[in-house]
Chains A and B, each alone.
Chain A
Amino acid sequence: MILALIERLGDAALYHISDLGRMGFFLLSSVLGIFRRPFRFSALIRQIRQIGADSLGVIFFTGGFTGMVLGLQGYYTLSKFGSEGLLGSAVGLSLIRELGPVLTALMVTGRAGSAMCAEIGIMRNSEQIDALECMSIDPFRFLITPKFLATLIAVPLLTQLFDLVGIFGGYLVGVKLLGGNPGAYFSSMAQSVANQDINMGIIKSFIFAVLIAWICTGRGYFVHQIRGAGFGAEGVSRVTTHAVVLASISILVWDYLLTAILL
Chain B
Amino acid sequence: MSEPIIRLTGVRKSFGSQVVLDGIDVDIPAGRTTVIAGGSGQGKSVTLKLILGLIRPDAGQILLDGRDIARVRGRELRELRANFGVLFQGAALLDSLSVFDNVALPLRERTRTSEDDIRKQVLATLDRLGLNGAEDKFPAQLSGGMKKRVGLARALQLQPRVMLFDEPTTGLDPEKTLEIYHLFYQIQQQLGYTAIIVSHDIPKVFNLADQVVILNNGKALVFADPQDIQRSSAPDIREFVTKTMGDVYLSREME
Residues of chain A having any CB pair with chain B under 8 Å:
38, 123, 126-128, 130-137, 142
Contact = CB atoms under 8 A, between A and B. Distances in A.
Nearest to B78: A136
Nearest to A127: B92
Given A134-B81, A136-B81, A136-B82, A127 B106 contact: no
Contact of B110 (A123, A126, A130, A137): A137
Nearest to A133: B54
B62 interface: no
B88 A130 contact: yes
18 contacts: A126-B90, A127-B88, A127-B89, A127-B90, A130-B54, A131-B86, A131-B93, A131-B94, A133-B81, A134-B52, A134-B54, A134-B84, A135-B106, A135-B109, A135-B154, A135-B158, A136-B81, A137-B105
B225 interface: no
Interface in B77-115: 78, 81-82, 84, 86, 88-90, 92-95, 105-106, 109-110
A137 B106 CA distance: 8
Nearest to A129: B92
Closest 3 CB pairs of A and B: A131-B92, A127-B92, A136-B78
A134 B86 contact: yes
Interface residues of B, number: 20
A123 B175 CA distance: 30
Interface string B194-208: 000000000000000
B90 A135 contact: no
- Please report whether the interface of chain A is mostly helix, strand, loop or mixed according to DSSP: helix
Contacts of A137: 105-106, 109-110
Interface of B: 52, 54, 78, 81-82, 84, 86, 88-90, 92-95, 105-106, 109-110, 154, 158
A38 B105 CA distance: 13
B105 A135 contact: yes
A123 B92 CA distance: 8
Given A126-B92, A134-B81, 7 more contacts: A127-B90, A128-B93, A131-B86, A131-B94, A132-B94, A135-B158, A137-B110
Nearest to A141: B109
A253 B231 CA distance: 68
Contacts of A134: 52, 54, 81, 84, 86
B82 A128 contact: no
A133 to B, nearest CB: 7
Nearest to B164: A134
B106 A128 contact: no
A124 to B, nearest CB: 11
Interface centre among A123, A133, A136 (most CB of B within 10 A): A136
A86 B54 CA distance: 62
A123 B81 CA distance: 20
B176 to A, nearest CB: 20
Nearest to A134: B86
A132 B93 CA distance: 10
Interface centre among A123, A126, A132 (most CB of B within 10 A): A126
Contacts of A128: 92-95
A41 B89 CA distance: 31
A142 B97 CA distance: 13
Nearest to A119: B96
A204 B84 CA distance: 46
B191 to A, nearest CB: 18
A124 B93 CA distance: 12
A137 B105 CA distance: 9
Nearest to A132: B94
A137 B78 CA distance: 9
A6 to B, nearest CB: 19
Interface centre among A38, A123, A135 (most CB of B within 10 A): A135
A123 B88 CA distance: 13
A99 to B, nearest CB: 35
Contacts of A136: 78, 81-82, 110
B121 to A, nearest CB: 15
Contacts of B89: 127
B199 to A, nearest CB: 17
B62 to A, nearest CB: 15
A206 B158 CA distance: 41
Contacts of B158: 135
Nearest to B82: A136
A89 B86 CA distance: 62
